[in-house]
Amino acid sequence: MLEIGTVQSSAGYRIVKLPNGAHSVHSLAHHETFHPVVGPVAEAEVLYVRQLGLAERVRQHTGEFVLWDVGLGAAANALTALRATRDYPCTIHLLSFDHTLEPLEFALQNIDALGYLRGYEPHLEGLLRDGHCTFQEGLQTVKWDMHVADFPTLVAQPVARTFASPHVIMFDAFSPATNPAMWTLPLFSDLFRLLAPDRPCSLPTYSRSTLLRVTLLLAGFYVGVGHSTGEKEETTLAANTPDLIAEPLDRRWLQRAHRSTSAEPLAEPVYRQVPLTPASWEMLQQHPQFR
């Protein structure tokens, strides 16, 4: 259970204390807590840093390493990734996306509880003020751009093709039940089309649902089992190349998806649970991952 704190904003956020003692931000409007079990930093380290071998990938990389942070929220994922890579002489180009900056503004007012923000206050204030910032952190150079927009609409527009193509997408939207627009097949298809074919890209996310995994596969990704976060026994890891998937979904999973009562991707931003249609089942079987 969450222990609800007393710090609340007029915009509708609270600081909550988790059972392990970590603090996080709770959205009253969505009735959801960011990183709700192990806390913001611990979850980000499992999903994005350790699972992807992020520090080693950056250490071996030449040129600009591009991170997409889909769902900036209170900046826990972005800052955890930056801290993990700051000891290497690299340039990180970080593109954050969210429809609002209110969670970050609220988090900056509560740094005593959300200690992971400490040391980055001037940069985050610049990001809030100007929509971008550039700074040196250890041996690392950071170029950080903020895009405040409706993400599904943004990635479908021609301007999205001008964004730097990512090496990693940290995908952290509210759940499909409360935010179905962020989990549709059109969105992930648009996202896949923005990836550079010659640039291997990983997309980890916290969900392990059959609906999500089918959606990613039909959008063009290869999909595998992701690391446990403590809350979930497994998560999901997608990529545009099978080389980045350590534990790919196999044909046994495919048969379970065929039997599932909640597997058909969302075609529009309305949450529902239905089995695979015959057309989706046929397309799944033709995916290169299962041939």
DSSP string, 168-186: EEEE-PPPTTT-GGGGBHH
Q: Please count the structural domains in the chain.
A: 1
What type of residue sits at position 128? L
**Has residue 22 been placed in a domain?**
no
Domain presence at residue 24: no
Strand order in the sheet with 168-171: 132-137, 140-148, 91-98, 64-70, 168-171, 202-205, 235-239, 222-226
In a domain, 11, yes or no: no
d(CA 221, CA 237): 10
Q: Which domain holds residue 243?
A: 38-290
Q: In sequence order, what are the beta bridge partners of 248? A: 224
The whole-angstrom separation of Cα 257 and Cα 8 is 42
Query: Has residue 140 been placed in a domain?
Result: yes
Residue 13, domain member (yes or no): no
Other Cβ atoms less than 10 A from the Cβ of 168: the count is 23
**Beta strands 64-70; 91-98: pairing state:** parallel
Q: What was the pLDDT predicted at 2?
A: 30
Helix, strand counts (H, E) of the chain: 10, 12
Triad 206, 209, 214: Cα angle to 5°? 110
Q: What tokens does 142 get? A: 């950071």
Domain assignment present for 217: yes
pLDDT of residue 232: 63
Name the residue type at position 176. P
Nearest partner of 237 among 198, 195, 208, 197, judged by Cα: 208
CA distance 89 to 104: 28
* DSSP alpha helix (H) spans, the chain: 40-44, 54-60, 76-85, 102-108, 121-130, 151-155, 185-193, 210-219, 251-259, 278-285
- Asked whether the beta carbons of 134 and 142 are under 8 A apart, the reply is yes
CATH of the domain at 130: 3.40.50.150
Spatial separation of the C-alpha atoms in residues 222 and 191, rounded to whole Å: 14
The C-alpha angle 256, 281, 271, rounded to 5 degrees, equals 80
pLDDT at residue 231, as a whole number: 65
Between CA 265 and CA 216 the distance in angstroms is: 9
Give pLDDT tens digits along the chain (291 positions): 233 334 444 468 999 988 888 898 988 888 888 877 788 898 999 999 999 999 999 999 999 999 999 999 999 999 999 999 999 999 999 999 999 999 999 999 999 999 999 999 999 999 999 999 999 988 999 999 999 999 999 999 999 999 999 999 999 998 899 899 999 999 999 999 999 999 999 999 999 999 999 999 999 999 999 988 766 689 999 999 999 999 999 999 999 999 999 999 999 999 999 999 999 999 999 999 998
- Is 47 within the bounds of a domain? yes
What is the reported pLDDT for 36? 72
